[in-house]
Chains A and B, each alone.
Chain A
Amino acid sequence: MTTVLSIQNIHKIFGDLEVLKGIDVNVEKSETIVILGASGSGKSTLLRCINFMEVPTSGRIVLSGKTIGKETAGKVIYNEAELNALRTRVGMVFQHFNLFPHMTVRENVMEGPRTVLKCDKDECGRRASKYLDKVGLGWKSEAYPSQLSGGQQQRVAIARALAMEPDIMLFDEATSALDPELVGEVLETIKELADEGMTMLIVTHELGFAYTVADRVLFLSEGRILEQGTPAEVLVYPKQDGTKNFLKGHGSFRLPEPKLD
Chain B
Amino acid sequence: MGYDWDFWVVFREFGLLMHGLINTLKVTGLSLTFGVPLGLCLALLRLYGNWPIRVPVGIIIEFFRATPPIAQLFWFFFALPILIGVEIDPFKASVLTFSLQSSAFFAEVFRGGIVSIDKGQWEAAKAIGMNRNKSLKRIILPQAVKRMIPAFLERAIELMKTTTLVGTISYADLLYEANTIAQSTYRSLEVFTVAAGIYFVIIFVCSIGVRQLERRMARTGETTAH
Interface residues of A (CB under 8 A from B): 51, 53, 80-81, 84-88, 90-92, 94, 96-102, 111-112, 115-117, 146, 157, 160-161, 164
Contact = CB atoms under 8 A, between A and B. Distances in A.
Given A84-B129, A87-B129, A146-B221, A98 B134 contact: no
B131 A80 contact: yes
B49 interface: no
Given A100-B125, A112-B128, A146-B220, 14 more contacts: A53-B126, A81-B131, A84-B130, A85-B129, A92-B127, A96-B118, A97-B120, A98-B120, A100-B143, A101-B143, A111-B128, A111-B138, A160-B124, A164-B128
28 contacts: A53-B127, A80-B131, A81-B131, A84-B131, A86-B129, A87-B126, A87-B127, A87-B129, A88-B128, A94-B127, A96-B118, A98-B118, A98-B120, A98-B123, A100-B121, A100-B124, A100-B125, A100-B139, A100-B143, A102-B143, A112-B128, A115-B130, A116-B128, A116-B129, A117-B129, A157-B124, A161-B128, A164-B129
Contacts, number: 66
Interface in B111-155: 118, 120-121, 123-131, 134, 138-139, 142-143, 146
Interface of B: 118, 120-121, 123-131, 134, 138-139, 142-143, 146, 220-221
Given A102-B143, A115-B134, A116-B134, A94 B124 contact: yes
A153 to B, nearest CB: 12
B226 to A, nearest CB: 17
Contact of A116 (B123, B130, B142): B130
Nearest to B141: A102
Contacts of A102: 142-143, 146
Contacts of A87: 126-129
B126 A99 contact: no
B136 to A, nearest CB: 12
A81 B134 CA distance: 12
Nearest to B129: A88
Nearest to B144: A102
Contacts of A85: 129
Nearest to A81: B131
B66 to A, nearest CB: 34
A99 B124 contact: yes
Would you list the 7 A-B pairs with minimal beta carbon distance, nearest first?
A98-B124, A88-B129, A112-B128, A98-B120, A92-B127, A87-B129, A116-B129
Contacts of A111: 128, 138-139
Contacts of A97: 120
A112 B146 contact: no
Contacts of A96: 118, 120
Contacts of B220: 146
A160 B128 contact: yes
A5 B126 CA distance: 20
Contacts of A160: 124, 128
Nearest to B121: A98
A161 B143 CA distance: 21
B217 to A, nearest CB: 13
B143 to A, nearest CB: 5
A86 to B, nearest CB: 8
A7 to B, nearest CB: 18
B9 to A, nearest CB: 54
A116 B146 CA distance: 24
A92 to B, nearest CB: 4
